[in-house]
Every structure is written in C-alpha cells, then in structure tokens.
Amino acid sequence: MNLSQVIVQPVLTEKSVQGELLNKYTFIVHQDATKVDVKRAIKMLFGATVAKVNIKKGMPKFRLGRGRRPMQKRATTRQAIITLKAGEKLDITKTTKSTNKSE
C-alpha cells in the first residue's frame, strides 16, 4: 500500500480537538492500514515523530429504506489516534482528502 493512501482525512470534532492539547490527533485511515503504516505515513507527510498509535474500528451504520427499498448498510470507518512525542505539533489543515488522491 502506498503511504500517501493510508491517511484518508483528519477528524475534526470537539473530542478530537480537545485531544490535540494532549498531542493526540485523530485521522480516518484506510481499512487495510496497520499501525506501522500509519506511523510511517505521519512521518512522511508531516515529519513528526510518533510515540504511539491506537486504531479503532467503527461499527457500520444501518439506514432504513423507504417504501420497498431494502435496509442500507453504510461503510465501516477505521480511525487512528496518534500520540506525538512531547513538544511536537501537527498542522492537520494541510492534509485533506484532495491532496491524498493527487499523490
């Protein structure tokens, strides 16, 4: 897997922004990405040293169809929570979905 395809997009929620104060950043990653892949991708894209990587898999969401349409299943998501070494920061605004597809 190409390292530029590992990180899909950053997660910007209230909880993830609060984690940035503790040097923890949250990203949506590719379904087949491992912790080592995520660590290498962060090093390549941002030049930051990663201390720890946690990966969690989100459950698929179901949506009821209307009328005769069947129930639809939305895709599962996989998030990586990256902890950086002390004193390092990331500028997550420079990594977007469009820049990952162009590389």
Domain residue ranges in the chain: 3-87
Q: Is the pLDDT of residue 91 over 90?
A: no
pLDDT above 60 (res 18)? yes
The residue assigned the tokens 């989100």 is 58
- In angstroms, rounded to a whole number, what is the distance separating the alpha carbons of residues 103 and 84? 24
pLDDT for residue 76 is more than 60 = yes
Q: Which has the closest alpha carbon to 3: 47, 33, 48?
A: 33
Amino acid at 40: R
List residues bridging with 78 in a β-sheet.
57
* Cβ proximity of 10 and 26 under 8 Å: yes
Q: What is the pLDDT of residue 103?
A: 46
Q: How many whole angstroms separate alpha carbon 53 and alpha carbon 36? A: 8
The yes-or-no verdict on residue 31 having pLDDT over 60 is: yes
Inform me whether the pLDDT recorded for 94 exceeds 70. no
How deeply is 40 buried, as exposed, middle or buried, from its count of CB atoms within 10 A (0-12, 13-18, 19+)?
middle
Highest mean pLDDT among 44-58, 59-73, 79-93: 44-58
Predicted pLDDT of residue 98: 47
Q: Which two tokens stand for residue 57?
A: 């898999």
Which tens digits make up the pLDDT trace of 32-51?
A: 999 999 999 999 999 999 99
pLDDT at 99: 46
Q: 10 vs 16, 67, 93, CA distance in Å?
A: 9, 36, 8
- Give the per-residue pLDDT at 22: 93
What CATH code is assigned to 3-87? 3.30.70.330
